[in-house]
Structure 1
Amino acid sequence: MATAARPAAPSAKGLMPFGEWHTWYRVTGDLTSGRPPLVVVHGGPGSTHDYLLRIAELAEDGWPVVHYDQLGNGGSTHLPHKGADFWTVELFRDELANLLQGLGIADNHVLLGHSWGGLLTARYAAERPAGLRGLVIANSPASYPLWLAEMKVLRAQLPPGVDATLLRHEEAGTTDSAEYQEAVRVFYARHVCRLDPWPREFMASFFEIANDPTVYYTMNGPNEFHVIGTLKDWSVIEYCPDIAAPALVISGRHDEATPVTVQPYVDHIPDVRWELFEESSHQPHMEEPERFRTVLREFLAGLEK
């Protein structure tokens, strides 16, 4: 079992202007060191950077690390009254580009996108930005229709009665009930995070979503496997052949992002390799932290050759 980790101390924090709003960011390490900073793009959409904080440990190995909270959550501007037409993939793509430009690293960076962040970074990478040195797609489906199909497979494998409980509340529109949430936790314990208890930084992101679920509910839905939001039909498969940067795809043996949902990245990105973490579900950076750090170090070092 992974042990609790104290996040590496930041070298800078701030708010980056983004139109009328602000994006909160955190830097660990020296952005002027010459090495491409690793920019960490969290999941959700509508989560926060907290659950990915231990990736900042890579700064100890000489690679600067940038975390940020996407618009609508965490330390960034909250906009709870904005509707579905506001919360788009293009908005978050523009926010990422704005952050890279504002930090002065648009011409030299590596992206790590986790879960929804993997789709977002794949879409961004397909535009072939000149400064993108490498791309890490972690625990991310390439297609929400594929994801939804695989959720049915995983749900059918839950203990007897759990999926029936989930379906009953989904059909009744009572997904906020205690019984439904208890059934959700059964799925999460198998396919989202297998650690017990859940790490503090993981819980922090859950609390942040609960504090303002606007983005998550609008684009995703009430949980990981009942995707009824605006992303339910979205895919990046068509963009994958246009990704020119070297790519590392990561997933867990017990991941909700099953091999079926990850395979399109491997099939269509020209320069790609896939690392499967045997003891992990959706959080290998917490479930197998030592191996995760080793794999990332090797990938980053390979970009310098």
Structure 2
Amino acid sequence: MASVKVVEGEADFPVLTAGKPCRTWYRVYGDLRSGTLPLVVLHGGPGATHEYVENISQLTYHYGIPVVVYDQLGNGLSTHLPETIGRTEFWTEQLFIDELHNLLNHLGIHGNYALLGQSWGGMLASAFAVQQPEGLKKLIIADSPASMQLWMEATAQLRLQLPQSVQETLNKHEAEGTITDEAYQRATQVFYEHFLCRKVPMPDPLKNSFAWIEKDPTVYMTMNGPNEFLIMGSLKTWNITDELHKISATTLLINGRYDEAQDSVVEPFFQRIPKVKWVQSAESAHCPHLEETERFMEVVGKFLLPVY
């Protein structure tokens, strides 16, 4: 494996309504000036961190593709704003689009780059792409919904595949409003083991990202809700289906066979983005980059570097 330069830093991100200075933490693998199209990775959540997608930096080691990972505002090593929990007018899609533009400018790659968004990161990446930013050359949407309504319908069906006792526990506590109960949390973990990540125990990077959400739930609780299938936040009505035809970048679509983002959830991307390819990971749930890492890297590497 080749030696790779790794640099990390912070980009000042002025947000007038934040009430304090904000910064975006990032890490760069490889040389952004190498002439090879750099890849910027957008993590999920919203409210998770770079840690569970950091292994995508293997693309640098194996294919020489510069990779940027970062923590979105409110998460991980970037500025936290716990005082804004519940402020849906602050935590918006546009805030994160503005942050991404700011980071690209800070890194000096705004004129030439690729994006990979995983889960919420793919929602953000698609919303960014429909605005047709000039420098976006290639787009990868991994395990993401085109519509949260489709996501909720799919996860409701997936719940029916769980053991009956688990279903009953989830239903009981949701009806009674006791979703912080330990039994409900254990039942939620069973869902995750089936449809979030099929590696048991959960890989440490994913576990660490969940720990960050627990430490500061501001973004996750405001925009999403208490878990992956009970969506109560501002994203509940999110739907980009009617805008997907505006995406001009060549796009790769990825999901797993057992993914929370079932085929019905991602199909609008395939039907409506003009230049798109769809690849499914046969043994994965929501995290093919962690569950079938070697194949994931090969698929993405070939997409970014057709000849290598």
- Of 168-177 and 50-59, the range deviating more from structure 2: 168-177
The letter for the 2-side match of 1:271 is K
For 1:51, the equivalent position in structure 2 comes to 52
The letter for the 1-side match of 2:69 is H
2:4/2:60 contact within 8 Å kept: no
TM-score, reference length from structure 1: 0.95
**Secondary structure of 2:164's partner?**
coil
Runs of 5+ consecutive residues of structure 1 not aligned to the other structure? 1-7
Aligned match of 1:17 in 12, 20, 35?
Answer: 12
Q: Distance in 2 between matches of 1:10 and 1:189?
A: 35
The letter for the 2-side match of 1:58 is L
**Structure 1 residue 84: deviation in Å?**
1.9
For 2:82, the equivalent position in structure 1 comes to 80
The letter for the 2-side match of 1:236 is I
TM-score, reference length from structure 2: 0.94
Q: 1:108 and 2:103 equivalent?
A: no
**Structure 1 residue 47: deviation in Å?**
0.5
Q: Distance in 1 between matches of 2:11 and 2:230?
A: 33
2:5/2:31 contact within 8 Å kept: no
The letter for the 1-side match of 2:13 is F
Give per-residue Cα distances to partners, 1:204-254, cap 9 Å, x unaligned: 101111110110011000000000100000111122100000000000000
Listed as ranges, the matches of 1:171-210 within 5 Å are 171-210=175-214
Listed as ranges, the matches of 1:281-300 within 5 Å are 281-300=285-304
- Of 93-102 and 164-173, the range deviating more from structure 2: 164-173
**Secondary structure of 1:136's partner?**
strand
Q: Distance in 1 between matches of 2:198 and 2:4?
A: 27
Q: Distance in 2 between matches of 1:171 and 1:91?
A: 34
Work out the number of aligned pairs and report it. 298
CA gap of 1:10–1:168, structure 2 versus 1, over 3 A, is farther
Give per-residue Cα distances to partners, 1:271-292, cap 9 Å, x unaligned: 0010000000011111101100
Q: Distance in 2 between matches of 1:146 and 1:245?
A: 24
Q: Distance in 2 between matches of 1:67 and 1:239?
A: 27
**Structure 1 residue 171: deviation in Å?**
2.2
Q: Distance in 2 between matches of 1:170 and 1:33?
A: 52
CA gap of 1:255–1:10, structure 2 versus 1, over 3 A, is farther
**Secondary structure of 1:232's partner?**
helix
Q: Distance in 1 between matches of 2:226 and 2:94?
A: 22
**Structure 1 residue 146: deviation in Å?**
0.7
Q: Distance in 2 between matches of 1:182 and 1:196?
A: 14
For 2:71, the equivalent position in structure 1 comes to 69
CA gap of 1:232–1:283, structure 2 versus 1, over 3 A, is same
Aligned match of 2:242 in 206, 227, 238?
Answer: 238
2:173/2:179 contact within 8 Å kept: yes
Listed as ranges, the matches of 1:99-178 within 5 Å are 99-178=103-182
Q: Distance in 2 between matches of 1:221 and 1:167?
A: 16
**Structure 1 residue 77: deviation in Å?**
0.4
- Of 151-160 and 256-265, the range deviating more from structure 2: 151-160
CA gap of 1:236–1:10, structure 2 versus 1, over 3 A, is farther
For 1:36, the equivalent position in structure 2 comes to 37
Cα RMSD for the two superposed structures: 1.5
**Structure 1 residue 188: deviation in Å?**
0.3
Q: Distance in 1 between matches of 2:173 and 2:11?
A: 41
Q: Distance in 2 between matches of 1:152 and 1:196?
A: 23
Q: Which runs of 4+ in 1 moved over 3 A?
A: none
**Secondary structure of 2:297's partner?**
helix
**Structure 1 residue 35: deviation in Å?**
1.2
Report % sequence identity.
Answer: 50
**Secondary structure of 2:236's partner?**
coil
